[in-house]
Chain A
Amino acid sequence: MDKSVWSNQKRRAVWAAGWVLLLLMAAAWGAVGQVSAQSEPPTDDDVNAVAKELYCPVCENIPLDVCGTQACAQWRDLIREKLAEGWTREQIEEYFALHYGDRVLAEPPRRGLNWLVYVLPLATLLVGGVIVAQTLRRTRRKPAAPAAAAAEVDPAADPYLAEIEKELRQRPE
């Protein structure tokens, strides 16, 4: 067999083996993650990490992780239950928004008119920046004009100025 063909085949085999190894490792990692999600009960910190992003409509302006009412305690239990089932933070937030409305979320979801909340400040900053830049450019340009104009005026060529100069020279000290 040709040496270069043999070398190419070896290279392909090494690449294939590498990919298989990576895939196996990814699968193993996923399995370990699942096992740990199912076997370890969520801690208070896990629950509070999700709860602090939620607000109960009953006790307005108090994040769920520090709210002391029974309603909030029930909600935290629900979060614990969902975490134990392997739900992600996003899934739990979606569940709460679906059941209790978007107002329970600390951050408005990025949909519909809510986009204004995210887009408007940036757009305002951008427009403001453009206006400030234009104004600065204009104010920098303005002082140059009178200076240039003054440099261009020759007092000797202007009979009026020449007359003033003459009168000033004739005035007693």
Chain B
Amino acid sequence: MNHEEPKTVGDTPGPRRLPLWVVAAAFLALAGFLALIAWGLRRAQQGPIVIGQEVPAFSVTTFDGEAYHTAEMRGKVIVLNFWASWCTPCEAEAAELEQAWQLYRERGDVVFLGVDYVDTEPEARAYLEKFAISYPNGPDLRTTISQLFRIRGVPETYIIDREGRLAYQKIGPFTSLSEIQAAVESVLN
């Protein structure tokens, strides 16, 4: 006799469940991804360096290959100017910046650094030659320095005090040599 046990509802196999380790791994991956997004958002929403805040160390390598590390310049006032050869307003202050540099270069405790933002080297060199700029200038490689200061355009000038804190900022071009002098003096004194 062909005997078959009657099937009941309770005997049907239930839905297959994912192994516990898969669920745990999925949650971990999700948490990691969310943490990554949070970190990115926090970094993106960080504002610019404010007056009085310590400026993180950075380096500028000039077009001639000479490296300037701000970490090694403690005790000196750094005048950091962002510019570009394609920037017309930059031309308005170029000659005055060079004049100011000539005034302070003998002191030894004031350093002028030019950071060339998103530019091409031949045009940048031509610009430096045109305005006879003699203080160190170099490209903003991978735009790291401009991102550090979160610049909104060029020209912009930042003055870092002897303790490495941001002491002054100028958005847009300086209009005169006296304006540059007043800015530097306010940080020196």
Residues of A within 8 A of B (CB): 56-58, 69-71, 74-75, 77-78, 97-103, 113, 116, 120, 127, 134, 138, 141, 145-146, 148-149, 152
Contact A99 B86 (CB under 8 A): no
How far is A57 from B16 in the complex, measured between Cα atoms in Å?
52
- What would be 11 A-B contacts, judged by CB atoms less than 8 Å apart? A58-B118, A58-B153, A70-B86, A74-B85, A74-B86, A100-B142, A138-B15, A141-B15, A145-B9, A145-B12, A148-B9
How far is A132 from B55 in the complex, measured between Cα atoms in Å?
52
* A149: B residues at CB distance < 8 A: 8-9
Contact B15 A100 (CB under 8 A): no
8 further interface pairs, Cβ-Cβ under 8 Å (given A74-B123, A78-B120, A138-B15) = A57-B143, A70-B86, A100-B142, A101-B143, A116-B33, A141-B15, A145-B12, A149-B8
Secondary structure at the A interface, as helix, strand, loop or mixed, is helix
Contact B141 A98 (CB under 8 A): yes
Contact B36 A75 (CB under 8 A): no
Residues of B within 8 A of A (CB): 6-9, 12, 15-16, 26, 33, 36, 84-86, 118-120, 123, 139, 141-144, 147, 153
A-B pairs under 8 A by CB, number: 55
Contact A99 B139 (CB under 8 A): yes
* B141: A residues at CB distance < 8 A: 98-99
- Name the one of A71, A97, A146 contacting B86, with C-beta atoms under 8 angstroms: A71
